């Protein structure tokens, strides 16, 4: 079992729709959870962090955390073609562990 | 404020050579981590340094080493380069300031290393 799992995609959504990205993790001791966006050929950019169970909203982005189910998700509302990128889930226990990323394609 | 800076941007080396990559963290950040990212994979943790001390090491061979300087900048050294070392090397700066967003990591632009 991978420590942090993501569906590699691609996940294709039409412009204006909600994109839902999911991530599961294996270490129950993990304390901090992050979502990064990575455009092709660029470095990862932090877009959301979440530490407590529940939802955290920032603009068009909502991160959801369920520690009991070891599950983190990212919702992107009103998806735009500029949101097309790979989204990396990262989990911090004693070190940071990244998933392999989900490639999102927003179709104009 | 300036973000994380890394140098060089690109590098081409031959098998068996040695390489040094450099990183300067965000002002006020005392922790620096190094990652290796190959195409199609997430970043893989190599090292973390905090206050000039190694605080974590990933599953990489001893050919990889790093250090952090008094100004919190850092170097990653790789000896005896192999073709498989070709990757994007990322430096991340972490906020550890009480009262702030703990443990958020911010990445530099990376160094693209090609080993031929």
The CA distance from A77 to the nearest CA of chain B, in Å, is 23
The pair of structure tokens assigned to B29 is 């950040």
Residue B29 vs residues A31, A64, B66, B90, B104: alpha-carbon distances, Å: 20, 27, 17, 16, 11
| pLDDT reported for residue B19 | 98
What integer is the mean pLDDT of B53-74? 95
The verdict on a CB contact (< 8 Å) between B40 and A49 is no
CB A89 within 8 A of CB A6: yes
Q: Is the peptide bond before B112 cis (omega within 30 degrees of 0)?
A: no
**To the nearest whole number, what is the mean pLDDT of chain A?**
95
What integer is the mean pLDDT of B38-60? 93
What integer is the mean pLDDT of B36-50? 95
The verdict on a CB contact (< 8 Å) between A43 and B45 is no
User: How far is B6 from A77, CA to CA, in rounded Å?
Assistant: 33
Decide if pLDDT at B1 tops 70.
no
What integer is the mean pLDDT of B56-62? 94
Q: Which residues touch B108 (CB under 8 Å, ≥6 apart)?
A: A43, B3, B4, B5, B6, B23, B90, B91, B92, B93
| pLDDT reported for residue B107 | 97
Write the residue in B35, B104, B109 that is nearest to A46 by C-beta. B104
Residues of chain A with pLDDT under 50: none
């Amino acid at each position: 079992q991978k420590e942090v799992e993501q569906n590699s995609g691609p996940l294709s959504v039409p412009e204006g729709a909600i994109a839902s990205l999911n991530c599961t993790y294996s270490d129950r001791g993990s304390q901090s959870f992050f979502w990064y966006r990575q455009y092709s050929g660029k470095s990862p950019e932090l877009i959301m962090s979440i530490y407590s169970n529940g939802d955290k909203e920032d603009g068009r982005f909502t991160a959801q955390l369920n520690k009991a189910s070891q599950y983190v998700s990212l919702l992107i509302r009103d998806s735009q073609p500029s949101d097309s990128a790979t989204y990396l889930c990262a989990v911090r226990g004693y070190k940071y562990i990244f998933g392999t990323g989900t490639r999102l394609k927003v179709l104009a | 404020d300036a973000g994380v800076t890394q140098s060089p941007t690109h590098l081409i080396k031959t098998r068996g050579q040695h390489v040094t990559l450099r990183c300067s963290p965000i002002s006020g950040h005392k922790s620096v981590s190094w990652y290796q990212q190959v195409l199609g994979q997430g970043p893989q943790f190599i090292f973390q340094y905090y206050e000039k001390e190694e605080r974590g090491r990933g599953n990489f061979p001893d050919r990889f080493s790093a250090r952090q300087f008094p100004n919190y900048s850092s170097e990653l050294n790789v000896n005896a380069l192999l073709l498989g070392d070709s990757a994007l090397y990322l430096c991340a700066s972490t906020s550890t300031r009480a009262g702030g967003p703990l443990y958020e990591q911010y990445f530099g632009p990376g160094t693209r290393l090609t080993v031929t």
